[in-house]
Amino acid sequence: MRVVIAEDHALLRDGLTRILRAFDFDVVAAVDNGPALLPALVTHQPQVAVVDVRLPPTFTDEGLQAAIAARTQIPGLPILVLSQHVEPMYARELLGTPHGGVGYLLKDRVSNVGEFVDAIRRVAAGGTAMDPEVISQLLARREPLAVLTAREREVLGEMAEGRSNAAIAAKLRITEKAVSKHMNNILTKLDMPPSDDDNRRVLAVLAYLNA
C-alpha cells in the first residue's frame, strides 16, 4: 500500500517511515514542508496520506490545505491527520469533502503501534479513524446536538470513531438492537436519512457536526 507522509520533525518522520515499512507499507514519499506535499501527493497518488496539519514555512494549516487541494485532483484520496492539537476549523474543512476515508488522531494519544497501523488501513479502505478527544471537542461545538439524548451522543461519538454496531454495543454494554435504534434516532434527529453504508453515514454525521 502506497503511503505519503508529511511531518516536519525529522525523528518522527523517520520513525513513521520505519514503522510503516515494517508493516509492509510502501512509503513512496516523506516530506517535511507544506509546499512539497501537494506535488508529492499528485505525483505518487498514494492509497493513503498521513499528514501533520502544521508544516513549514508558516506552521499554520499548510499540511491539511495541501491534502484537501490534492483531493480536487485525486477524488477520494484517503487522509489521516496526525496532529498535536485539535483543529476544529481544519477538521471541518476536511470532513466537508464528500468522498474518501478520513482520520484525525492526536500524536500524544497514539500509544499502540498496532492500533495506529489499523487506523491507517481503515482510512485507506474508505473508513474513519477519529480520536475520542477530537470527537468530544467537535460535539461540544454544535448546539443542534442538544436534541440528542446523552446515550445518543455517546453512540454518535463511537460511530465517529469508526466502530461497528457490535463494537459499540460491547463498549457501551448495550445490545446491537439498541445501537441500531439509537443510530436511526440520531440520523432522524439530525435530518439525515438512514444508510446501510457505515462509512458514508459516519462521514455524513461528522460533516454535519462541522458544518
Judge if 47 and 19 occupy the same domain: yes
Helix (H) or strand (E) holding 82: strand 79-83
In this prediction, residue 202 carries a pLDDT of: 64
List C-alpha distances in Å: 161 to 12, 23, 29, 93, 133: 24, 22, 27, 18, 10
For residue 52, what are the contacts with CB-CB under 8 A and spacing of at least 6? 6, 7, 8, 63, 81, 82, 83
Q: At which of 81, 100, 131 does a domain end?
A: 131
pTM exceeds cut of 0.85: no
Which range marks the domain in which residue 76 is found? 2-131
Judge if 157 and 196 occupy the same domain: yes
Give the C-alpha separation, 2 to 98, whole Å: 22
Of 135, 143, 146, 147, the closest CA to residue 205 belongs to 135
Q: Give the full edge-to-edge strand order of the sheet including 102-106.
A: 26-31, 2-6, 48-51, 79-83, 102-106, 128-130
Residues of the chain with pLDDT under 50: none
CATH number (domain holding residue 157): 1.10.10.10
Q: What is the dihedral of CA 154, 111, 203, 137, to 10 degrees?
A: 50
Judge if 151 and 114 occupy the same domain: no
CATH number (domain holding residue 25): 3.40.50.2300
Judge if 125 and 158 occupy the same domain: no
Q: What is the CA 1 to chain-centroid distance, rounded?
A: 18
Establish if 178 belongs to a structural domain. yes
In this prediction, residue 38 carries a pLDDT of: 95
Judge if 25 and 101 occupy the same domain: yes
In this prediction, residue 96 carries a pLDDT of: 66
Establish if 136 belongs to a structural domain. no
Q: At which of 131, 150, 182 does a domain end?
A: 131
In this prediction, residue 94 carries a pLDDT of: 73
In this prediction, residue 206 carries a pLDDT of: 64
In this prediction, residue 90 carries a pLDDT of: 67
Establish if 148 belongs to a structural domain. yes
* CB-CB contact of 112 with 14 (8 Å): no
Q: What are the grid coordinates assigned to 135, written together?
A: 470527537
Establish if 137 belongs to a structural domain. no
Judge if 99 and 162 occupy the same domain: no
Q: How many structural domains comprise the chain?
A: 2
Q: What is the CA 44 to chain-centroid distance, rounded?
A: 21
Q: At which of 99, 131, 163 does a domain end?
A: 131
